[in-house]
Structure 1
Amino acid sequence: MQLGSVFIWKKFPFREEGKEKDRYFVYFGKSHFPGNPINIFLITTTSKVNEYEEGARKNRIYYKFKAGYFGFVEDCILDLDSCYS
C-alpha cells in the first residue's frame, strides 16, 4: 500500500455510535520504531463537514476530500489534529 492510499472498510464494526457503516481510511505509513505496538497508521474520515467549516472544530487542522475524488462518494474530512491529540 502506498502512502496516502484511500480505502473503504465495508460495514466498519467499531463505531462509537454502534451502528455498522462503511468508513474511509487513509494509509499514513508504517512504524519504524522498535517495540512500537502500532505497525501501520490509518486515519479515518468523517462526513460531518459542517462541524469543521463553521462548527466547533473549525480551528482544527484538517483536509477536505471532495465527493468524486479518490473514491469518496460524499465530501469527507480527514482531521489531522485528531492524530496528535
Structure 2
Amino acid sequence: MNKAQAGKWRKTRQMGKAKYVMYYGVVTWGLLLTFLFTAVEWFSQQSFNGSWFTIRLVVFSIVGFFIANFRWDANERTFLTKDAE
C-alpha cells in the first residue's frame, strides 16, 4: 500500500466497518449484481420475474456482505502492516 492508498484508506476507515460493509457490500454489490442479472434475464428472455428479482437481491446482498467484509479485513491488515513500518 503506497502513501496515496494509505491516505485514502485512512479516510475510508473513519466510517467504521459496519457502515463500510453495508455501503460497499450490501448496497453496492447487492444492487449492482441484482440489476445486472435482471438485465441479462430481460435481454435474453424478454421477461421479468419479480420473485427472481427478490431472490437475487437477497442472495447478492449476502454475497456483497462477505466481499466487503473480506476487503475491509485485507485492507486493515495491509494498512496496519504499512503503518508499523
- So what's the TM-score if we normalise by structure 1? 0.21
| The structure with more strand, counted as a fraction of residues | 1
Q: Which has the larger radius of gyration?
A: 2
Query: Comparing both chains, which one has the higher relative contact order based on Cα–Cα distances under 8 Å and sequence gaps of 6 or more?
Result: 2
TM-score under structure 2 length normalisation:
0.21
